[in-house]
């Protein structure tokens, strides 16, 4: 009799746990979404101009490759970046997915810190999107024909520089019903980049027309 009662108790307990779990949505599990706000100015906080990016790129980067054939040789000095758990590499038309090791690490840290910040805010988890990486001299010339705002003397030629979109993001779990709009995601990304700038790990330019943050890694002298 005791055994039967004990078994019934186990079944009831299991059902109670299942009921509790089934009634909990993702929002309840992670807690209430906290207020997302960027206390700053994108244009003032991220105003490092091309000459600043270029000086650091020339100091620590690779020798620019003239074309994609030459780029095959300098790839050995860099690391290939591919879509992973922290960031998504979009289809690249005017650049190749390679960065010097310190820049590749910076990119991963940006993606990692971005997701950590979202978790701390009880938000859905997203990946940042990489829109441009290392360009050859020919890539820069061809891009200049399409985009008059692009610089002929681009820091992207040195394997030190990449662009991260502040318009587009990749949601990690599409079944998560909580959606964070791009404006608030931009605020979270800006907070991450501002912290890394303060640590002197990068230079950042807020590109309004291109919809991206233009980022160059820094290394201690």
Q: Environment class of residue 161 by beta-carbon count within 10 Å: exposed (0-12), middle (13-18) or buried (19+)?
A: buried
* Domain identity same for 105 and 207: yes
* Domain identity same for 21 and 37: no
CA distance 165 to 175: 23
pLDDT at 12 over 70: no
* Domain identity same for 179 and 145: yes
* Domain identity same for 53 and 26: no
CA distance 118 to 121: 5
pLDDT at 55 over 80: yes
Is there a contact between 109 and 162 (Cβ–Cβ < 8 Å)?
no
* Domain identity same for 57 and 108: yes
pLDDT at 24: 42
Q: What is the mean pLDDT of residues 24-35?
A: 71
> What is the domain extent for residue 13?
1-31
* Domain identity same for 1 and 99: no
Domain count, the chain: 2
CATH number of the domain within which 195 lies:
3.30.1380
Name the maximum alpha-carbon separation found in the chain. 86
pLDDT at 17: 35
């Amino acid at each position: 009799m005791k055994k039967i009662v004990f078994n019934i108790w186990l079944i009831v307990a299991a059902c109670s746990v299942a009921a509790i779990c089934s009634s909990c949505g993702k929002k309840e599990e992670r807690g209430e979404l906290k207020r997302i706000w960027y206390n700053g100015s994108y244009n003032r906080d991220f105003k490092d101009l091309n000459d600043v990016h270029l000086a650091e790129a020339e100091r620590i980067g690779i020798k620019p490759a003239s074309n994609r054939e030459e780029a095959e040789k300098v790839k050995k000095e860099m690391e290939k970046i591919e879509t992973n758990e922290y960031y998504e590499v979009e289809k690249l038309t005017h650049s190749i997915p390679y960065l010097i090791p310190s820049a590749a690490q910076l990119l991963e840290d940006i993606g990692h810190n971005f997701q950590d910040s979202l978790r701390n805010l009880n938000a859905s988890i997203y990946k940042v999107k990489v829109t441009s990486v290392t360009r050859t001299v020919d890539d820069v010339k061809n891009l200049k024909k399409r985009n008059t705002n692009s610089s002929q003397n681009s820091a992207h030629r040195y394997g030190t520089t990449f662009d991260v979109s502040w318009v587009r993001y990749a949601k990690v779990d599409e079944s998560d019903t909580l959606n964070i709009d791009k404006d608030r995601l931009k605020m979270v990304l800006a907070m991450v980049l501002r912290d890394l700038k303060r640590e002197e790990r990068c230079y950042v330019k807020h590109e309004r027309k291109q919809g991206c943050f233009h980022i160059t890694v820094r290394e201690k002298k």
